[in-house]
Homo-oligomer: A and B are copies of this chain.
Amino acid sequence: MKKGVLYLIPTVLAEGTAEKIISTQVKEVILNTRYFLVENLRTARRYISSLKLGISIGDLDFQVLDKNSTEGQMAQLMKPLWEGHDIGVLSEAGCPGIADPGSLGVAYAHTKGIQVVPLSGPSSMFLALMASGFNGQSFAFHGYLPIDKKERATAIRELEKESLRKNRSQIFMETPFRNNQLLQDLKQHLHPDTLLCIAKNLTAKDETILTKTAQSWKKTEIDLHKIPTVFLIYASKI
């Protein structure tokens, strides 16, 4: 029997944006898929409902693939593929496989010769990089910086040094309730001329993307508390 396909399905970053931002392709794939591996059940159900495709959510089969999932569980979670059914992977926000646990399922699929099809959609990290004005020929994403004050200061300085040496844009994030603290740390530890881009609430009505020198950020009031934010630094012009 022909095996099913593993679709990587993007979701929205901000509520109420599905109609404008989610493509026809994504809607068609969701319409033709019954089995879903999702990071968060509630978010996934709400997202599919919001697309107004006439799907009855109760007819769908949702299994959780989150940070507690293990490699050992993949065979069971992927079972519908062997019966010829497609599976859709849905992250809590943005694109599966980027800074989320979806890659565990994808890695498994490749070892079994399952076809993996990624669908285009919004990614906060990627939109932030586009809009930063920084070098898009060389960049690195680092996930979360260390929480410990001293380790974090060292990490910030290391990222800055590497940016300068390799002409590289550095991208990172923080748990939203610690965003303001991270901004303070960046202001304190970055060279005054290093460029810092802050991209908050991407795709939402109050989306804000600003690139300024660390020095200039010291004179700027901005509240990032509990707001999804991507941070980028670029030091090559110091």
Copy number in the complex reads: 2
Contacts of A128 in B (CB 8 A): 118
A residues 125-153 near B (Cβ < 8 Å) are 126-143
Nearest chain B CB to A143 CB, angstrom units: 4
CB atoms of A133 and B109 under 8 A apart: yes
Nearest chain B CB to A47 CB, angstrom units: 15
User: What residue of chain B has the Cβ atom nearest to residue A120's Cβ?
Assistant: B122
- 6 cross-chain pairs, A with B, having the tightest CB-CB distances, nearest first: A107-B133, A106-B133, A140-B140, A97-B130, A110-B211, A120-B122
Nearest chain B CB to A132 CB, angstrom units: 7
Interface digits, A28-44 against B, CB 8 Å rule (1 contact, 0 not)?
10000000000000000
CB atoms of A140 and B139 under 8 A apart: yes
Query: Which of A15-23, A57-65, A178-186 is the contact stretch?
Result: A15-23
